[in-house]
């Protein structure tokens, strides 16, 4: 299986040299050292994902994740959940932020309607 992964990675990087490649999942059949040796990937998961073993892994061809966290899953499983974040993770819970981009007033609406009433737009000139 590792030879197949190596060929696929080589083809991807040859055809798409600037692409990022992620190898992720329950990869307990693959030796980490062999994956690194044959692909040059970096293994990101550093915490056990099942018992005391790191079975669920994320290996990447280049830097793309800022952090990786291992969680106890919500669903019933003997494996933990692994989540990789591309930006700094905020694990503080849900937060909502309301941003005002433009205040809408009846006066603005009236000015907009007045402005568009002065435009001369002939639909027949723009039909195909």
Domain ranges in the chain?
2-85
**Is 128's pLDDT higher than 70?**
no
Higher pLDDT, 42 or 91: 42
Question: b/e map of 35-68 (b: 16 or more CB within 10 Å)?
Answer: beebbebebbbeeebeeeebbbbbbbbeeebeeb
- Model pLDDT, residue 59: 92
């Amino acid at each position: 299986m590792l030879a197949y992964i190596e060929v696929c990675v080589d083809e991807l990087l040859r055809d798409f040299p600037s692409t990022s490649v992620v190898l992720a999942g329950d990869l307990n059949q693959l030796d980490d050292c062999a994956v690194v040796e044959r692909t040059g990937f970096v293994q990101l998961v550093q915490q056990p994902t099942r018992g005391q073993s790191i079975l669920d892994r994320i290996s990447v061809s280049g830097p793309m994740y800022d952090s990786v966290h291992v969680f106890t899953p919500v669903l019933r499983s003997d494996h933990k959940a692994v989540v990789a974040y591309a930006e700094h993770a905020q694990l503080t819970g849900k937060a909502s932020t309301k941003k005002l981009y433009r205040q809408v007033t009846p006066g603005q609406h009236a000015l907009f309607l007045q402005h568009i009433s002065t435009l001369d737009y002939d639909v027949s000139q723009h039909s195909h």
